[in-house]
Structure 1
Amino acid sequence: MERINVAVEAGCKVPRRGDDDSAGLDLSVSKDVSIPASGHKMCHTGVHVQIPKNHVGLVFIRSSVGAKRHVELSNGVGVIDCGYTGEVMLPLHNHGNSAQFFRAGERVAQLVIVPCVMTDVNIVDELDETSRGDGGFGSTGKD
């Protein structure tokens, strides 16, 4: 198992895996937070991570929070570049009809670290032909 450097502010929870086979490190909110119905809050974790070079940290909502409490990350998936060492923040949006309260230390999101191919752009007049071409949005069928 590989390790990453993590700095945790006083009183905040260290990111941890739910079990040995979990892909993500669970992230907790560092302060009590109430998100009103259809509301949005930027939440602190008190966690700073050093993503290895040629990797990216992807932040997802925990499935239980999304499915049972109708709370999601406002930006869908958070992206932490390897050069960023600031606090990991969680922009949460409550899609439900009632306020959602999270206690300090409650696990809300998860951080998955994956290799990232670093790319640059090569400008061309046209792209190579493929069997799919510009077909999208169900163009390959339903089954």
Structure 2
Amino acid sequence: MGERRFEVVSRFKGAGLTLPQRQTTHAAGYDFAAAEDFLLPSIWKMNFVKMFRKINNEHELMTKDFQRAEQSLRPLLVPTGIKVTMPTDEVLLLVNRSSSPLKRFLSLPNGVGVIDADYYNNEANEGEIFFQLINFGIRDQLIKKGDRLGQGIFVKYLTTDDDQPADQKRQGGFGSSGR
């Protein structure tokens, strides 16, 4: 069957991190916290606002304008210092806390993060879980070590009867299995 448990990754051993936990008896999600202080800048202070001005003033946009705007709108990866092992027929879904967009203007731009069982102990980052976040508020947000970032929910998944996955070993995360 396999074991399901959270662990601290090597680079944060001894840093006093708390393993994710459910906050109430019937909560589905395990709350994840930031492993260190992290400044998440407001998207409104970034270069893409300059691009909107150029569009509004009918300036011709150059490749570098698009590149700057795209770079500024990228989510940032907030470290948790946590990895997870789980049975091979499960996935850990990373989701927003309901209060994050309302109170802090922080959101997961991909909607739901997916942590597969084979992400655990991968060579690229030991399977550390990161939350992709974007700050759509006006002010920069300082996320303090220990602040809750989001929730993780374990879910069993099904495969088709004729399933034949590619015979490929995971190299890391965030698009490591291809485009």
Q: Which runs of 4+ in 1 moved over 3 A?
A: none
Structure 1 residue runs of 5 or longer lacking an equivalent are 122-143
Aligned to 2:5: 5
Match of 1:118 in 2: 159
Q: 2:111 is matched with which residue: 76, 86, 92?
A: 76
| Equivalent AA in structure 2 for residue 52 of structure 1 | P
Aligned to 2:83: 48
Q: Which moved more, 1:34-43 or 1:88-97?
A: 34-43
How far 1:51 moved relative to its partner? Answer: 2.2
1:1-143 to structure 2, matched below 5 A, reads 4-8=4-8, 9-10=12-13, 11=15, 12-38=17-43, 40-85=75-120, 86-119=127-160, 120=163
Tell me the secondary structure at the aligned position of residue 104 of structure 1.
coil
Normalised to the residue count of structure 1, the TM-score between the two structures is 0.77
Output the aligned Cα RMSD.
1.6
**Which structure features the higher share of strand residues?**
1
Query: Could you state the TM-score of these two structures normalised by the residue count of structure 2?
Result: 0.62
Residue of structure 2 equivalent to 1:139: none
1:42, CA displacement in angstroms?
1.1
Identity, % of aligned pairs?
34
- Any stretches of 5+ residues in structure 2 without a counterpart? 44-72, 121-126, 165-179
Inter-partner Cα distance in structure 1 for 2:88 and 2:29:
18
Instruction: Please identify which structure carries the higher helix content.
Output: 2
Using the alignment, how far apart are the partners of 1:111 and 1:60 within structure 2? 6
State the distance in 2 between where 1:15 and 1:30 align. 11
